[in-house]
Structure 1
Amino acid sequence: MNNVGGIDRIARVVVGVLLILATTFGLIGVWGWIGVVPLATGLLRSCPLYKLFGFNSCPIKKSE
């Protein structure tokens, strides 16, 4: 089930990629590989913590 949408998704992907790139180029330490987490949750559109806390940033679908 998707629970990450819109700006939240874009921000996760951008932050994830930036952290991974910064680590790859030696700008920050090995902790930067944590960027894999926001990158994966942004690409998969699903965040386990959102599910745990009942949060959803996807737009509400209208039934017709």
Structure 2
Amino acid sequence: MKKNVGGADRIIRIILGLAILSLFFILEGNARYWALVGLIPLGTALIGWCPPYAIFGMNTCRTKNDTPPD
């Protein structure tokens, strides 16, 4: 598995995943278990690989040839 999730994308996924997971403590009844969906963006951010990105050929990682603008 080649990494395909870049730095900014990872930060956004971590924040989004934690926000969704926090709903587990806010929602009541069986609806609270839908908050576990937040594990998906959190997990993809932590391992740096996203299956849909791989399927569609997307990549937000910097390559060695990428240089920041002056």
TM range (shorter): 0.7 to 0.9
- Give the structure-2-normalised TM-score: 0.78
Aligned to 2:42: 39
Which ranges in structure 1 are unaligned for 5 or more consecutive residues? Answer: none
**Correspondences of 1:17-36 after superposition (within 5 Å):** 17-23=18-24, 25-27=25-27, 29=31, 30-36=33-39
Task: Note the residue ranges of structure 2 that are not aligned, 5 or more in a row.
Answer: 66-70
Paired letter, 1:17? L
State the structure with more CA Rg. 2
Shift of 1:10: 0.3
Q: Deviations over 1:4-33 (max 9, x none)?
A: 01211100011111111221x124732111
Aligned residues: 61
Query: What is the identity percentage for the equivalent residue pairs of Structure 1 and Structure 2?
Result: 41
* TM-score normalised according to structure 1 size: 0.84
